[in-house]
Amino acid sequence: MENIADEVLKGNRLALAKAITAIENERENATEIMKQLYPHTGNAYVLGITGPPGAGKSTLTDKLAKEFRSRGKTVGIIAIDPTSPFSGGAILGDRIRMNDLAMDEGVFIRSMGTRGSLGGLSHKTADAVKVMDAFGVDVIFVETVGVGQSEVDIVKAADTTMVVLIPGMGDDIQAIKAGILEIGDIFTINKADHDGADKLQTELNMMLDLDGVMKDWRPPILKAVANQNIGITEVVDTFHKHRTHIEENGQLTVRRTERAKNEMLDLLDAKIGQYVRHKLVDSGKIDGYVEEIKSRKTDPYTVVNGVMENMLK
Ligand SMILES: Nc1nc2c(ncn2[C@@H]2O[C@H](COP(=O)(O)OP(=O)(O)OP(=O)(O)O)[C@@H](O)[C@H]2O)c(=O)[nH]1
Ligand SMILES: [Mg+2]
């Protein structure tokens, strides 16, 4: 393939897959691809879907994607699978149950495994989102399991985030409360065919009332039965409502600005880290310092300050 980025921009699906693989595997050409694609990003709307394992996130995403398709939108789906060592779409059809969607030319599905750290995954996810954006899809879903800090980081790539919960979570809801209240623009109680959906809705409403006094967007709490296609149009309508809301009040611009800033800082952190490692570790210089620190001839604070001063000269 001549130039992967050019091909992505022409709408070549194979090039899209290759570009994401390059990012995922940290190939040398990944940065070049991203540089070329970056000017063509910023058009897609990114939806984050997160929640506990097995909540029906993939089933929901599948149904939501179909609803967007029926409204004339093209769709990209990135499923993050932090537990799986697989990547490159190898697990399609396993954890992701979207086989008929995969036949649709207006849909591009990709799963990404962690391989390295979850931290690394969040910037890889952000880059994969940009590749799909430049490719030209209208809406991008990022599905991620769980509601811990790492997932929160991944979800930061999203313009609107939906937290999926299920009835019968009991005390879990208390445990994850802090995290979910912060990141959810929309809450959907899936598996509403199970007992306890109303109870969960009441509990969530109470928490949001306590939390959201000064907020201008009160996250709606929807109910769905994804595998029966119940509640799907409401979720899509609510996505639109939230999007319109944050477009009009400027919050979307604020979120995207914050994202651009954080991405730049993360990139800079990584580069500086690499540079320091190269200078200190690969050269073996660090061993001398460590000896001196260990024998209490000096201390790590003094050493780090000295190293920094030297490097910044
Ligand atoms: N009863 C019921 N089952 C559902 C519903 N939605 C999905 N399921 C089933 O729940 C199971 C898990 O669904 P997934 O969509 O794979 O859930 P997930 O949250 O993506 O799971 P992970 O990605 O593994 O965390 C599947 O067997 C679905 O068919 C629902 O609304 N009601
Ligand atoms: Mg899933």
Cα of 87 vs centre of ligand 1, distance in Å, is 21
- Asked if residue 123 has its Cβ within 6 Å of ligand 1, the reply is no
The percentage of residues in the chain with a pLDDT greater than 90, rounded to a whole number, is 58
Q: How far apart are CA 173 and CA 168, in angstroms?
A: 9
pLDDT score at 278? 87
Q: Classify residue 302 by its DSSP letter.
A: H
Atom 7 of ligand 1, residue of closest alpha carbon: 56
pLDDT score at 77? 94
pLDDT score at 267? 87
Cα of 52 vs centre of ligand 2, distance in Å, is 10
pLDDT score at 85? 42
Cα of 51 vs centre of ligand 2, distance in Å, is 10
**Paired strand residues for 110:** 78
Cα 103 to chain centroid distance, Å, stands at 24
CATH superfamily of 41-249: P-loop containing nucleotide triphosphate hydrolases (3.40.50.300)
Q: Give the pLDDT mean for 197-217.
A: 82
Q: pLDDT-based confidence at 193, cuts 50/70/90? A: very high
- Is the C-alpha dihedral spanning 135, 126, 19, 65 positive or negative? negative
Is the pLDDT higher at 156 or at 14?
Answer: 14
Q: Give the pLDDT mean for 42-68.
A: 93
Give residue-wise pLDDT tens across range 250-265.
Answer: 999 999 999 999 989 9
Q: At 117, is the secondary structure helix, strand, or coil?
A: coil
**Which residue among 50, 57, 58, 59 is best mutated to probe the pocket of ligand 1, counting the most ligand atoms within 8 A of its Cβ?**
59
- Indicate the domain borders of the chain: 41-249, 264-312
Asked which of 146-155, 191-200, 210-219, 245-254 is least confident by mean pLDDT, the reply is: 146-155
Cα of 85 vs centre of ligand 2, distance in Å, is 15
pLDDT score at 2? 75
DSSP string, 205-246: HHHHHHH-TT-S----EEE-BGGGTBSHHHHHHHHHHHHHHH
User: Are the beta carbons of 310 and 289 closer than 8 angstroms?
Assistant: no
Give residue-wise pLDDT tens across range 122-164.
Answer: 788 899 999 999 999 999 999 987 656 666 777 778 999 999 9
Asked which of 29-38, 166-175, 239-248, 264-273 is least confident by mean pLDDT, the reply is: 166-175
- Asked if residue 193 has its Cβ within 6 Å of ligand 1, the reply is yes
Q: Give the pLDDT mean for 285-310.
A: 94
- Asked if residue 262 has its Cβ within 6 Å of ligand 1, the reply is no
pLDDT score at 175? 53
Q: Give the pLDDT mean for 284-294.
A: 94
Which among 64, 70, 148 has a CA at the least distance from the CA of 109? 64
pLDDT, the chain, mean: 86
Q: pLDDT-based confidence at 215, cuts 50/70/90? A: confident
Q: How far apart are CA 68 and CA 33, in angstroms?
A: 28
- Asked if residue 146 has its Cβ within 6 Å of ligand 1, the reply is no
Tally of CB atoms within 10 A around 108: 23
**Which residue among 98, 191, 227 is best mutated to probe the pocket of ligand 1, counting the most ligand atoms within 8 A of its Cβ?**
227
Q: Give the pLDDT mean for 109-119.
A: 68
Give residue-wise pLDDT tens across range 60-101.
Answer: 999 999 999 999 999 999 998 755 444 334 344 444 455 567
Q: How far apart are CA 226 and CA 57, in angstroms?
A: 9
